[in-house]
């Protein structure tokens, strides 16, 4: 078995998937029709053609437009269920799903509708596919900390349905320190804490995620390589990085997958993992990310096994299952 085939066959955990980023164009149009939502694209092909991104913001503009078709609990269920079926085909046995409540509450959708639909899909995934899952509520960093606090407050009646909080959306100009107080409150509530940092932003934002937010994982984090002291600290703490190679390629963080820093991160002794980020927009689900990265960088069987193992080490899965896959 080649390293790429091994990667496709191994059981894996996916830790960085924005569930709204799993909305395929076909489902976007089906939901638009079902809900009577008008889209500024003529059809599936025209929408796909718009997926020529130049940076994070150019993607986010389209991603938020796509999410506008989600109105009812069943829409959130259908979206997450479609993801779980694809994850199952890729040998994902555990998934931690980011969701962006503010994208929906801003359109008048109740947060209970969002969490209810996602939670029901998580239950089905366990019952029908044997996939365990967790939800992680993300705050949109282009909005204010006050709005993040209001979102947290609105989510508290559903506290038992999510295990942690994250920070996503436009990174540049929105350092982690902007959200220090709301993350402190989340930690008091016993929530896990993760944050996007060092995707487009500088190493200082990764330091900020560690020091100001006490992030347990860094989402992306690839720009840590610009700061050797930071790499040493991430290795010392064994802070996981949830890296998303095809996302990095599509958002022009790297020019070519052959230049992707994944191998350098592993060589530096970091707990790096492979993830799909927004698979409907970036050209592939988890195995596509694994296979293309393994082939582009010539990763070995040992490196593939380390990546799969890291995904469980870095997960918030129950301790017994975590130990079984280490
Ligand atoms: N980065 C920041 N915010 C996001 C992303 C991402 O890759 N995907 C969805 N929201
Ligand atoms: Zn992301």
State the ipTM, two decimals.
0.96
**pLDDT value at residue 130:** 98
Ligand 1 shell residues, CB under 6 Å: 18, 21, 56, 63, 168-169, 196, 199, 247, 277-278
Confidence of residue 315 (pLDDT cuts 50, 70, 90): very high
Q: Tokens 């469980």, residue?
A: 312
DSSP helix/strand/coil, 115:
helix
DSSP helix/strand/coil, 71:
coil
199 is catalytic: yes
Pocket test for ligand 1, best of 57, 61, 169 (most atoms within 8 A of CB): 169
What are the extents of the domains in the chain?
3-317
For 295-311, what is each residue's pLDDT tens digit?
999 999 999 999 999 99
Confidence of residue 150 (pLDDT cuts 50, 70, 90): very high
Task: Give which of 311, 226, 220 is closest to 262, Cα–Cα.
Answer: 220
Mean pLDDT value of segment 270-285: 98
Task: Give which of 140, 79, 77 is closest to 280, Cα–Cα.
Answer: 79
Distance set, CA 234 to CA 201, 209, 264, 269, 303 (Å): 17, 12, 14, 9, 19
Distance in Å, CA 1 to ligand 2 centroid: 31
Phi, then psi, of 262 in degrees rounded to 5: -50, -45
Confidence of residue 147 (pLDDT cuts 50, 70, 90): very high
d(CA 263, CA 247): 16
Pocket test for ligand 1, best of 14, 54, 60, 176 (most atoms within 8 A of CB): 60
Confidence of residue 108 (pLDDT cuts 50, 70, 90): very high
- Selected catalytic residue, list 20, 96, 199, 216: 199
Ligand 1 atom 3, closest CA: 169
| Residues placed in the known binding site for substrate | 278
Mean pLDDT value of segment 36-40: 95
Ligand 1 atom 10, closest CA: 169
Ligand nearest the Cα atom of residue 171 = 1
Q: What whole-number percentage of the chain has pLDDT above 90?
A: 99
Distance in Å, CA 198 to ligand 1 centroid: 12
d(CA 248, CA 140): 20
Distance in Å, CA 171 to ligand 1 centroid: 9
d(CA 225, CA 283): 25
For 203-258, what is each residue's pLDDT tens digit?
999 999 999 999 999 999 999 999 999 999 999 999 999 999 999 999 999 999 99
**pLDDT value at residue 29:** 98
**Which residues have a beta carbon within 5 Å of ligand 2, which is an ion?**
277
Mean pLDDT value of segment 13-34: 98
d(CA 315, CA 217): 9
**pLDDT value at residue 204:** 98
**pLDDT value at residue 298:** 98
Distance in Å, CA 180 to ligand 1 centroid: 20
**pLDDT value at residue 285:** 98
The CATH code for residues 3-317 is 3.20.20.140
DSSP helix/strand/coil, 69:
coil
Confidence of residue 287 (pLDDT cuts 50, 70, 90): very high
Confidence of residue 260 (pLDDT cuts 50, 70, 90): very high
């Amino acid at each position: 078995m080649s390293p790429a085939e091994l990667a496709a066959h191994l059981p894996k955990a996916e830790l960085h998937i924005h569930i709204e980023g799993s909305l395929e164009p076909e489902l976007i149009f089906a939901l638009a029709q079902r809900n009577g939502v008008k889209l500024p694209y003529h059809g599936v092909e025209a929408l796909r053609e718009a997926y020529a991104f130049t940076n994070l913001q150019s993607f986010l503009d389209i991603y938020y437009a796509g999410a506008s078709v989600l109105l009812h609990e069943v829409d959130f269920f259908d979206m997450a269920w479609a993801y779980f079926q694809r994850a199952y085909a890729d040998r994902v046995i555990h998934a931690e799903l980011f969701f962006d409540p503010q994208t929906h509450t801003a359109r008048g959708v109740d947060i209970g509708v969002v969490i209810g639909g996602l939670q029901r899909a998580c239950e089905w995934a366990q019952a029908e596919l044997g996939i365990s899952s967790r939800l992680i509520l993300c705050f949109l960093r282009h909005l204010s900390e006050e709005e993040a606090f209001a979102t947290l407050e609105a989510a508290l009646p559903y506290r038992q349905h999510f295990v942690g909080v994250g920070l996503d959306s436009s990174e540049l100009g929105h350092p982690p320190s902007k959200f220090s107080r709301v993350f402190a409150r989340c930690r008091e509530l016993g929530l896990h804490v993760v944050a996007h940092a060092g995707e487009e932003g500088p190493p200082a934002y990764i330091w900020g995620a560690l020091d100001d937010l006490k992030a347990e994982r860094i989402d992306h984090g690839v720009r840590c390589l610009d700061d050797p002291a930071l790499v040493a600290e991430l290795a010392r703490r064994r802070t996981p990085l949830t890296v998303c190679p095809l996302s990095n390629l599509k958002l022009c963080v790297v020019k070519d997958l052959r230049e992707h820093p994944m191998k350098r991160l592993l060589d530096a002794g970091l707990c790096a993992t492979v993830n799909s980020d927004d698979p409907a927009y970036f050209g592939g689900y988890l195995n596509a990310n694994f296979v293309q990265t393994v082939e582009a960088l010539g990763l070995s069987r040992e490196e593939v096994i380390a990546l799969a193992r890291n995904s469980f080490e870095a997960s918030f899965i129950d301790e017994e299952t975590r130990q079984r896959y280490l």
